[in-house]
Amino acid sequence: MRAALPWRHFLLALAVVSVWGSNFVVIKLALGHLPPLLFAALRFTFALVPAAFFLPRPTVGWKNVALYGVLIGVGQFGLLYVAMNGRISPGIASLVIQVQVFFTIGLSMWLTGEPVRMFQWFSLLLATAGIAIIVLHTDGTTTFVGLILVLMAALSWAGGNITAKQGGAANMLSYVVWSSAFAIAPLLALSFVIEPWDSVWAAVRQADAATWAAVAWQGWGNTLFGYAAWGWLLARHPTATIMPMALLIPVFGMGASALWLGESLPAWKLVAAALVMTGLAVNFFLPRTRAVSA
């Protein structure tokens, strides 16, 4: 029988998922002042410095660390920030990005040759139905292009998951911090090519304390606190006890977006969220329920 989390550990896990969920609102607010690719580069600069001076280099090959940095830095967050720059609402972005679970499973099965099981098809069908509802309701706040960009970001996140698993890093926080070094240069290069630098410099000069606080929160609160606390919890409790808490990320994401940004929550959004999250829950809980009952 799975042991319950002590209250202090439960509250810590709740704090992490609330930070990760509400972070989509912080991203949206910062994007009102900074171009998305420059913002992403600054995020990983703050994640790298000064933490790299205090954390040991990961005991993983540099090619693996570099690949993870590019996939997560450029692929996941670069695309996510571009999408959230007027192409998709924070609440929907926090929901859609969670399909990285299915992309991770698909990539893992493709690499190992493991067949897809029936419950996985069913969970994928539920999540796909939720995404289809979002596609049918694209409007000025959630566009088709924004949806595709977030799905691509989810795929990059899945690639990062596989890369990290293959690396087998013992200290995930150190791994994440040092991999940030490999995200900064390509993000700055893309910013230089895509984003007008007169606008970039103007944005940097005009950025106020709240903007820099949002950037710092991305690097220190969302990354350092989030990964450190999550890793600490996973080291002390079974994965099956901790990971279901991640299902609350879209709840905090959509709730924070509605509360702070006034994002509407019509019935179709709630139905789409319910389908995606039910798909995630089925994929996670069903095989464990069968294992317990066997």
> How far is the CA of 270 from the CAs of 91, 95, 131, 161, 267, in angstroms?
11, 11, 12, 28, 5
In a domain, 82, yes or no: yes
- Does 262 fall in a domain? yes
Question: What integer pLDDT is reported at residue 292 of this predicted model?
Answer: 52
Answer whether residue 2 is part of any domain: no
- Residue 9: its H or E element: helix 7-31
The predicted structure's pLDDT at residue 1: 40
**195 located within any domain:** yes
For residue 39, the enclosing domain spans 7-293
The answer to whether the Cα torsion of 271, 126, 257, 13 is positive or negative is positive
Q: For 288, which DSSP code?
A: H
Q: How many other CB atoms sit within 10 Å of the CB of residue 9?
A: 17
> Model's pTM, two decimal places?
0.90
Is 188 a member of any domain? yes
In a domain, 243, yes or no: yes
Residue bearing tokens 């606080």: 213
Number of structural domains (the chain) is 1
- 285, part of any domain: yes
End-to-end CA distance of the chain: 13
- pLDDT tens, per residue, the chain with 294 residues: 445 678 899 999 999 999 999 999 999 999 999 999 999 999 999 999 999 999 999 989 999 999 999 999 999 999 999 999 999 999 999 999 999 988 988 898 888 777 778 888 888 899 999 999 998 888 778 899 999 999 999 999 999 989 998 898 778 899 999 999 999 999 999 999 999 888 888 888 888 999 999 999 999 999 889 988 988 887 788 766 787 788 889 999 999 999 999 999 999 999 999 999 998 888 877 766 655 555
Task: Determine, yes or no, domain membership for 231.
Answer: yes
